[in-house]
Amino acid sequence: MQLQQIQAYYHARGLSWPTPRNALLFFLSEVGELAQAYLCREADTLSDEDKALLSEFSARGLQADEIVSRVPGWIRNNDRARNENVIHEAADCDMMLSVFLEAYAGLSPDEALLEKMSLKLGYPAQTLLGPEKDADGSH
């Protein structure tokens, strides 16, 4: 998602843009919510070890949530007692990762990942898919 869309969403919700520290705590809170939602939905398919791990992530997310809930301009919108939606929680993680990286480094997750891939490859990762084509198929 484009950062401008996230910023417009924040503005529409009356949310203030977080500091890098707060954005990281928001992200960790969302990871906890995702772990809880997945555990709730998929418990029958998980090993005891998986369940214990996801429960721990959920608890740590609640701890992050408790810390960050004291930040002015933050609105709590998930009481963790609703019907768990794995897809929406994963989307929240994506959004908060984008907010964190923008607040911390002025980068999007895609930009950061391309930078890391390029370092590991030793050449620009953007070239892996070949030259970009125009909408009509030409270069």
How far apart are the C-alpha atoms of 30 and 91, rounded to whole Å?
Answer: 9
Task: Give mean pLDDT, residues 105-109.
Answer: 96
Entry pTM: 0.84
Percentage of the residues of the chain whose pLDDT score is greater than 70: 86
Decide: helix, strand or coil at residue 67: helix
| C-beta atoms surrounding 137 within 10 Å | 6
Q: Which of 53, 16, 26, 19 is nearest to 38 (CA)?
A: 53
8 A C-beta contact, residue 63 and residue 37: no
Say which range, 28-37, 43-52, 79-88, 114-123, has the weakest mean pLDDT: 79-88
Q: How far is CA 4 from CA 30, 73, 101, 138, in A?
A: 21, 19, 14, 29
What pLDDT, on the 0 to 100 scale, is given for residue 73?
67
Amino acid at 88: H
Tell me the pLDDT of the chain averaged across its residues. 89
For 19-78, the pLDDT digits (tens) are 999 999 999 999 999 999 999 999 999 999 999 999 999 999 999 999 988 877 666 665
How far apart are the C-alpha atoms of 87 and 124, rounded to whole Å?
Answer: 32
What pLDDT, on the 0 to 100 scale, is given for residue 84?
87
| C-beta atoms surrounding 117 within 10 Å | 14
What pLDDT, on the 0 to 100 scale, is given for residue 135?
47
The answer to whether residue 136 scores a pLDDT higher than 60 is no
